[in-house]
Structure 1
Amino acid sequence: MLKNISLLAFLSLGFIQSLHAQGASDLWVVDTEGKGGKFKLLTQTANPLTNRPEYDNQPNFINDSEMVFSAADQKGNHDIILYSFRTGNFTNLSKSPDRSEYSPNLTDCKQYISAVVVEPDGKQRLWLYPIIGEAPELLYDDIAPVGYYDWYDNKAAMFVLGEPNRLVYARGKGDLQEISKNIGRSVKNRPNTPEISFLDRNDLESTEGREKVAIKSFNLKTNTFRSLGHSLPGSQDLIWIDKNHLLMAKGNEIFIKNVKDSDWLSLGKIESSTHQNISRMAYSPELNKLVFVMNRN
């Protein structure tokens, strides 16, 4: 067991079901310019980064030129893939015929790629894959099932599936701090803060028959909550591009919101005759690129 690293992950029942019925999706990339409130998408530069009938999804940047994502092979097994924007090469970081890896990300200590692993017996637990290529390590043998997650201070927060689902922060072995219950699938560390942001499904509004979910954050140092507005109607995935600005998407259109504002502003629509419905996104301020997932028609 790796010392001094704990996990915060979150999971919904839909996540478990989706592992067994993943649709065809590709990664796309678009250039950006500006920062903060002047952030813009150069939508005319958008193009597919992958183009396969299988599942390519869940991108995360791990440094200033590389990202990792989960990709299915032709047999439906999911591995961790590394893509380099510097070389344009794709490399398998895992190739495990008896298990599938999802939601890869870099740990705070930068020594591991973490991933949710569906093991041969169906358990879903968090594993760590050493950057130097050594054998992967199981992080917690007693926490399952886990799903999406993010890191803060070499610890993480977990969505633990149960009755009800719980969002917890693993402060240490056997020391799980409960943050909330009944959350959505986006759990993200707010950059340069001790806050974990999440979608609170206990606080809903309805617009045109679609749900808007409250976006909240929890300060892990002061144990206090902050309200950050509501999600786009019907959208589940958000990311931070800095400590004050959030991105979400609806259909093929991407929106931005300052945490101090209630309204989402459109950054533009991605035109495509082959793909639709943007979901997960990853942003690199060093590369000025936004990577996002789109479903194949």
Structure 2
Amino acid sequence: MYPKFQIALVTLFISLSFNAFAQGNFDLIAIDGKKSSGKLVLDYNSIKLITDRPLYDNQPAFINDIQMAFSAVDEKGNNDIIIYNFEKDKFTNLTKTADRNEFSPSLTDCGLYVSAVTVEPDGKQRLWLYPTNFGEPELLYDDIEPVGYYDWYDNKAAMFVLGQPNKLVYPYSKSELHTISENVGRSVKKKPKTSIITYIDKNVSKDVDGMKSYAIKGFDIEKRTYFDYGYTFPGSEDFIWLDNQLLLMGKGNDLYVRKAEKTDWEKAGSIILEGYQNITRMAYSADLKKLVVVMERK
């Protein structure tokens, strides 16, 4: 098991106080799930706590068919990137940095790096690349910051940049940093097997039973055209794609799925574990047929 990390709070200032990675007590929970006829079928007998400690374990991302990366706090109070191997039930530090904090890991398109939003010693928050062979890390975009969230297309990152308002940008080249949208949510996800970056547009919303439901939009990097994918599940802002047609969101202990062209969310099931509530971040591996959810400890 990885070390008994201690929690660290990272506060960012960008002309106003802004905590991009609000920390608390979260664990990663895995459950077997397979797609069938536009639905997600869960095997409740397979529920497993991957982490189990009253600190911060969050932001899971599968990096191959047996391993997942996530952000956690080390024994000195720093956030590092941890690799978990499902076959061996083993944890390995990809980063172990005393002077900086790493968040939001993701595998790059080339497969040679795990990227991470890194809070540097001087407070800059930029995208770094960490070689999967444990070589020296590399700064990707020296002039784009502060980065909050992101996803990849064509070896370039579409990035949520903090500001007033927040912006979603894509660097077509060194000289062309294209603004896709402003006032976006934290979920930035490439639609599988497409050139479309999807995101939550907070400029467009509706009230459902007293809760906000925001528009899910898409931007085709190749064609530079926009798409509408309906609205988020009311009261939730974290979504993932299970494939290029099926969206998944969580609210409380429940999971909801929707085909991209449909309007109504359908309940896929519930993750009921004593002492846990509020599903937020999620990751799904079609190869492993496994879903990982982040839940808050009560």
Distance 1:147 1:15, change over 3 A: farther
Alignment-derived partner of residue 218 in structure 1? 219
Question: How many residues of Structure 1 are paired with residues of Structure 2 in the alignment?
Answer: 286
Tell me whether 1:208 sits opposite 2:216 in the alignment.
Answer: no
Alignment-derived partner of residue 137 in structure 1? 138
Residue 233 of structure 1, CA deviation: 0.9
SS of equivalent to 1:34:
strand
CA distance in 2 between counterparts of 1:214 and 1:177 reads: 21
Aligned 1:1-297 pairs, distance under 5 A: 16-19=18-21, 21-35=22-36, 37-297=38-298
Q: For CA contacts below 8 A with separation 6 or more, give which structure has more relative contact order.
A: 1
Residue 12 of structure 1, CA deviation: 12
CA distance in 2 between counterparts of 1:137 and 1:24 reads: 30
Residue 221 of structure 1, CA deviation: 1.4
Distance 1:285 1:279, change over 3 A: same
For 1:42, give the aligned amino acid: D
Q: Give me the TM-score of the superposition, normalised by structure 1.
A: 0.92
SS of equivalent to 2:199:
strand
Distance 1:48 1:135, change over 3 A: same
For 2:249, give the aligned amino acid: M
Q: Are the counterparts in 2 of residues 15 and 147 from structure 1 also a CA contact under 8 Å?
A: no
Unpaired runs of 5+ residues, structure 2, are 1-11
CA distance in 2 between counterparts of 1:161 and 1:50 reads: 30
Residues 67-99 of structure 1: CA deviation (Å, up to 9, x unaligned):
100011244310000001111100000000111
For 2:272, give the aligned amino acid: E
CA distance in 1 between counterparts of 2:135 and 2:190 reads: 28
Runs of 4+ in 1 over 3 A off after TM superposition: 11-16
CA distance in 2 between counterparts of 1:72 and 1:53 reads: 11
Q: Give me the TM-score of the superposition, normalised by structure 2.
A: 0.92
CA distance in 2 between counterparts of 1:34 and 1:58 reads: 22
Distance 1:12 1:263, change over 3 A: farther
**Sequence identity, in percent?**
53
Unpaired runs of 5+ residues, structure 1, are 1-10
Q: Are the counterparts in 2 of residues 28 and 294 from structure 1 also a CA contact under 8 Å?
A: yes
CA distance in 1 between counterparts of 2:63 and 2:252 reads: 27
Deviates further, 169-178 or 239-248: 169-178
CA distance in 2 between counterparts of 1:68 and 1:164 reads: 30
CA distance in 1 between counterparts of 2:146 and 2:82 reads: 23
Q: Are the counterparts in 1 of residues 20 and 148 from structure 2 also a CA contact under 8 Å?
A: no
SS of equivalent to 1:86:
coil
CA distance in 2 between counterparts of 1:60 and 1:28 reads: 13
Q: Are the counterparts in 1 of residues 191 and 244 from structure 2 also a CA contact under 8 Å?
A: yes
Q: Are the counterparts in 2 of residues 114 and 126 from structure 1 also a CA contact under 8 Å?
A: yes
For 1:212, give the aligned amino acid: S
Deviates further, 27-36 or 143-152: 27-36
